[in-house]
Homo-oligomer: A and B are copies of this chain.
């Protein structure tokens, strides 16, 4: 089974997720600069989620590049990941519209945590089908292990120091933005 349609479908879903989030930024009624002020946290949460979806798309791209076959298991592990990512516009809107209040900020972390687990499952399925010695198995291990821990820390933080939870989400995003040179080099040699 070709992986082209899996990529096309995932690209479509991710492109829609990243774009419909902006619909949460409702056009304000006033025409003064002050009318934009309540939108600032919404814009901030949109930016954060935009970067997260961008990271997932980027890594998804790399991961499937390494895969050769697409089985039914890969397809459903992929849909499972897309399900959690599709909830990001909802939690982004809730967090942004409520100025990073405790419960919405914690729920944002829960969805990020479950997305990370889903990504890890998808990667495990691909690695299992291609043998344990692939490029995938060697790289990003650290990032993949640390991220869920930081999400849990942020979820706990959200109930005590809200801004710290937000900072932790930004930190994880930054960590992933730094390119994993190894996978790029490995694929380049390939």
Contact = CB atoms under 8 A, between A and B. Distances in A.
Contacts of A16: 12, 15-16, 19-20
A2 B51 CA distance: 21
A158 to B, nearest CB: 11
Given A11-B5, A11-B9, A19-B17, A27 B102 contact: no
* Among A7, A19, A50, residue most surrounded by chain B Cβ atoms (within 10 Å): A19
A135 interface: no
SS class of chain A's interface: helix, strand, loop or mixed? helix
A39 to B, nearest CB: 9
A184 to B, nearest CB: 7
Copies of the chain in the assembly: 4
A23 B17 CA distance: 10
Interface in A83-100: 83, 86-87, 89-90, 93-94, 97-98
Interface of A: 1-2, 5, 7-9, 11-20, 22-25, 27-28, 31-33, 35-36, 47, 50, 54, 57-58, 61-62, 65, 71-72, 75-76, 79, 82-83, 86-87, 89-90, 93-94, 97-98, 101-104, 107, 177, 179, 184, 187
